[in-house]
Amino acid sequence: MTGRDRWILRMVYEHRVLTTGQLAALAFPTTKIASRRLAVLHTYRILDRFRPLRVRGTAPYHWTLAPAGAAILAAEAGVSVRELGYNHQTTLSVAHSLHLTHTLGVAEWFTALITHPHDGHVVRWWSQTRCQRLWGDLARPDAHGRYTHSGDQLDFFLEYDLGTTSLPRVAAKLHGFAELARTTGTVVPVLFWVPTTSREVNARVALRRTWERLPDPEAVPVATASAEFLGSITGTSPADQVWLALHTDSGRRNLHELGNLWPRRTTPEDGIDPESNWAPSSGSLALAPPPPSPPASAFW
């Protein structure tokens, strides 16, 4: 087991499922090398894999945690597999989940942000499951991230939209984030990522209507962007100039520039950090979240 192998185990434990392409982009020099190493881990029942049915073509392998992999993580944490919260059948059920496309979409978004060659770095990527355990009684973001650029840090919640949910329901999520801000005293931007520019236009109307009616709108900074920009401009990532703040029409901004638009935004240093003071009461969050990229020693 290499450092990279152990990082992969923590990643699939945290995010439930990742594809060969995503793991290759995050941790390997080529897809061929990634496929070869992942196949070895599968042979020893460290990872499980499946391929969703497609009408045309063949889907890539999707990787989840297998029993031997769970045993390795449990041993490292000094707990039993049961205390880790691992259940083989439950883990495999993601293959038939109606939310599989959404889960992989969030992973693809972060993969693009992490691997795009720019000056910024993703230093935190927490899964929907972890967010739900931490803040689920108030708000349920699809992910939580921390992005650094030239010494500045931006904490954010991600709402990843597939265009299948009605816009009033999408906008209604702002109420939960408003309650989270009121309860914790932290002001964390909410980034809405939608599939098309037309969807973004309509979403902004619904979001603005709900946002203006919040008890304290400025406590819930919001920005939107469309996935169409990634397809229309080669090499574009969520870090680039694709974001529109909800409270102003001053033009699209890079991800790292958004923090300057919200004076009340809580900096990571001033805000509460659940990672440091939260004691898990159930096994599913017994392990600390892995860094978004493998450690420098991962390849040895």
- Give pLDDT, residue 191: 98
Same domain? For 82 and 128 the reply is: no
Domain boundary among 97, 129, 162: 97
Q: Tell me if 280 is assigned to some domain.
A: no
Average pLDDT over residues 257-276: 73
- Among residues 95, 67, 61, the alpha carbon closest in space to that of 80 is found at 67
Counting the structural domains of the chain, the total is 2
Same domain? For 87 and 113 the reply is: no
Q: Residues 174-187: pLDDT tens digits?
A: 999 999 999 999 99
Q: Residues 1-60: pLDDT tens digits?
A: 999 999 999 999 999 999 999 999 999 999 999 999 999 999 999 999 999 988 788 899
DSSP for the chain reads: --HHHHHHHHHHHHHS-EEHHHHHHHH-S-HHHHHHHHHHHHHTTSEEEE----SSS-PPPEEEE-HHHHHHHHHHHTS-HHHHT--HHHHHGGGG-TTHHHHHHHHHHHHHHHHS-SS-EEEEEE-HHHHHHHHTTT---SEEEEEEETTEEEEEEEEE--S-S-HHHHHHHHHHHHHHHHHH-----EEEEESSHHHHHHHHHHHHHHHHTSSSGGGS-EEEEETHHHHHSTT--TTSS-BEETT--S--B-GGGGGGG-TTPPPTTTS--HHHH---SSGGG-SPPPPSS--GGGG-
- Give pLDDT, residue 277: 37
Q: Tell me if 163 is assigned to some domain.
A: yes
Same domain? For 244 and 147 the reply is: yes
Q: Tell me if 141 is assigned to some domain.
A: yes
CATH value at residue 49? 1.10.10.10
Q: Tell me if 145 is assigned to some domain.
A: yes
pTM score of the predicted model: 0.92
Q: Tell me if 115 is assigned to some domain.
A: yes
Q: Tell me if 285 is assigned to some domain.
A: no
Same domain? For 204 and 86 the reply is: no
DSSP for 210-265 reads: HHHTSSSGGGS-EEEEETHHHHHSTT--TTSS-BEETT--S--B-GGGGGGG-TTP
Q: Tell me if 173 is assigned to some domain.
A: yes
Same domain? For 166 and 183 the reply is: yes
Average pLDDT over residues 135-141: 93
Q: Tell me if 290 is assigned to some domain.
A: no
Same domain? For 93 and 106 the reply is: no
Same domain? For 17 and 112 the reply is: no
Same domain? For 191 and 224 the reply is: yes
Domain boundary among 97, 120, 145: 97
Confidence of residue 248 (pLDDT cuts 50, 70, 90): confident
The parent domain of residue 166 ranges over 102-269
Same domain? For 77 and 158 the reply is: no
Same domain? For 90 and 140 the reply is: no
Same domain? For 227 and 205 the reply is: yes
Domain boundary among 97, 113, 135: 97
Same domain? For 91 and 210 the reply is: no
